[in-house]
Amino acid sequence: MSACIRLPEVEAAKDGRGALDPAHLSTCAACQAEAASLLKLSLDLSSLRTALPVDRDALARAREVVLSSALVPRRAIRWQRLAVAAAVLVVSGVGAMVAFERSAPTPETRIQATDEGAARWTIDSRNDSEAITLTEGTLRLSVTRPTNGKQVVVHVPDGTIEDIGTVFHVVVANGATQEVRVDQGAVRLSLTGFGVVEVHAGEHWSRLLELAKPGSIGQQPAAEGDDSRDGEDSAYLLVIRSLREGSSEAAAEAARAYLAKYPRGFRAREVEAVLRPEAAPE
């Protein structure tokens, strides 16, 4: 059987990215053989989907871990994640955690970056630093930097994160840094509205937790606090915190302040509800 120059069209037709003339196929033995071969392979492979017995025990074990760790508060997650990571390291070796390794141009500084979830990032070697730009998602970074090596700076939408010889995770979502967890070493955060903060091994920085801290709201720069979503969140959290502390007067004052600044705010209806008891005639 001689080869047919239209053989590639058979595979293209199978994949739905092209059409093969049925008249040609009905008369070309080579194309018929190619189609038969592709069909047999396709059937063999698709049969693998049901060939493996489902490992119910493995599914149950993983289910328990997923449900117990995936949605608990971040602070609790950290230790469970570390336990999972430790198990992975034991099973697969130190290299098993490495998703993507890029050696820096200068041999002294080494960066291992792991995409832990939909990370969009780039790396750029500059004269004085290795600049990583993370615009979205979760990235784990392991930096090995000798004394004279280039510093690694992570540029996030709302600031920078400088490593101080470390392993850390950065979560960026909705155009802002949501979370930084440090496994080893330390990092220095310079994020809009939060000043400069150092986070050390075992510690965890969370935007939401920072906003909820007593006193943190008043420390927000006025210009940013007034105009940004952070400012609105902060004003809302002040209302909630006052309610939780049982201070209805402070809550009402905070609510009025929120509505004055954000009359069409995201939480305006909830905040108005705080004021309704006061509005009722005595």
Binding of residue 61 to other proteins (CB under 8 A): yes
> DSSP alpha helices (H): ranges in 186-247?
207-212, 222-227, 229-244
Residue 31 and residue 38: Cα distance in Å, rounded?
A: 10
**184-203 residues near other proteins, rule: CB under 8 A:** none
Distances (CA, A) of 259 to 212, 269, 270, 271, 273: 19, 9, 10, 7, 11
**Can you point out the beta strands (E) in the chain?**
100-103, 110-125, 129-144, 151-156, 159-163, 167-173, 176-184, 186-191, 195-200, 204-206
Site map (CB under 8 A) of other proteins, residues 144-183, x = contact: ---------------------------x-x----------
Comparison of 12 and 250: residue with beta carbon closer to other proteins = 12
Distance CA 255, CA 236 (A): 8
Nearer residue to other proteins within complex by CB, 182 or 251: 182
Report the residue from 6, 30, 106, 116 that binds other proteins according to the rule CB under 8 A.
116
Distance in angstroms between the alpha carbons of the first and the last residue of the chain:
99
How far, in Å, CA of 217 to CA of 193, rounded? 10
Q: How many residues bind other proteins (CB under 8 A)?
A: 65
**What minimum distance in Å lies between the beta carbon of 277 and other proteins?**
28
Q: Compute the least distance from the CB of residue 239 to other proteins, in Å.
A: 21
Judged by CB under 8 A, does residue 22 bind other proteins?
yes
The single residue among 109, 129, 138, 142 that binds other proteins, judged by CB under 8 A, is 138
Q: Which residues make up the interface to other proteins (CB under 8 A)?
A: 10-11, 13-17, 20, 22-23, 25-26, 32, 35-39, 41-42, 44-49, 51-52, 54-55, 58-59, 61-63, 65-67, 69-71, 81, 84, 87-88, 91-93, 95-101, 114-118, 136-138, 171, 173
